[in-house]
Amino acid sequence: MQLFDPYAGVILLPDRAPFGTTSPVALGDGQPVALIRWQNWSMYARFEILDATGTATVAAGGRANFWGRRYQVQDLNSRVLLELKLSVWGPAGRSTVTLPDGRQLLAKGNWTSRKFTVTDAAGLPVARLVNTSALLSWRPDSLAFELTAPVLSVVQAIGLAQCVRAASEAQRTAARSG
């Protein structure tokens, strides 16, 4: 399996690590596929996606503008792998995911309450967040991102999940402080 090839299946994503900066990502069968490294002191919610051994960075992402309504994931050559544009209502509204070939997907839901879906232009499901407590018990604090159609690569799916998570966290932080 290649990290940049279209993929259909389950990706187990960690919740943000309370200690340390890296967390493992696995396929539904538990096979390690990548690591996520967060930049804890970044104003732009930066993260890197590393290979499964943690020795090579394969992509990076984070907030792409000051206002926090645009997030991008880029490969090592600074090519945009996907861009998430948040609606006025943030991650809970209908946000747009643009892929490198210009295709657009719609993302809607609440990442923190484990209700999140991605659909294509025809409204067909591409991905959804699945509650892991009933389906998978790899880790009690992990999330399952089920790719129902081979539209996103593993790297794009991981990146999208991290962008939505960062946007959700920023929205919660703003609501608490304001």
CATH number at residue 107: 2.40.160.200
- State residue 145 phi and psi, 5-degree precision: -105, 105
Task: Give a yes or no: residue 3 inside a domain.
Answer: no
Domain total in the chain:
1
> What pTM was estimated for this model as a whole?
0.86
- Structural domain boundaries enclosing 98: 9-177
Task: Give a yes or no: residue 153 inside a domain.
Answer: yes
Task: Give a yes or no: residue 138 inside a domain.
Answer: yes
Task: Give a yes or no: residue 122 inside a domain.
Answer: yes
Task: Give a yes or no: residue 2 inside a domain.
Answer: no
For 32-37, the CB contacts below 8 A with 24+ separation are: 33/1, 33/3, 33/154, 34/3, 34/58, 34/154, 34/155, 34/158, 36/158, 36/162
- In order along its 178 residues, the chain shows pLDDT tens digits of 699 999 999 999 876 555 567 889 999 999 999 999 987 655 557 899 999 999 999 999 998 876 668 999 999 999 999 999 987 655 556 789 999 999 999 998 876 666 789 999 999 999 998 766 544 444 445 688 999 999 999 999 999 988 888 777 766 555 555 5
Task: Give a yes or no: residue 125 inside a domain.
Answer: yes
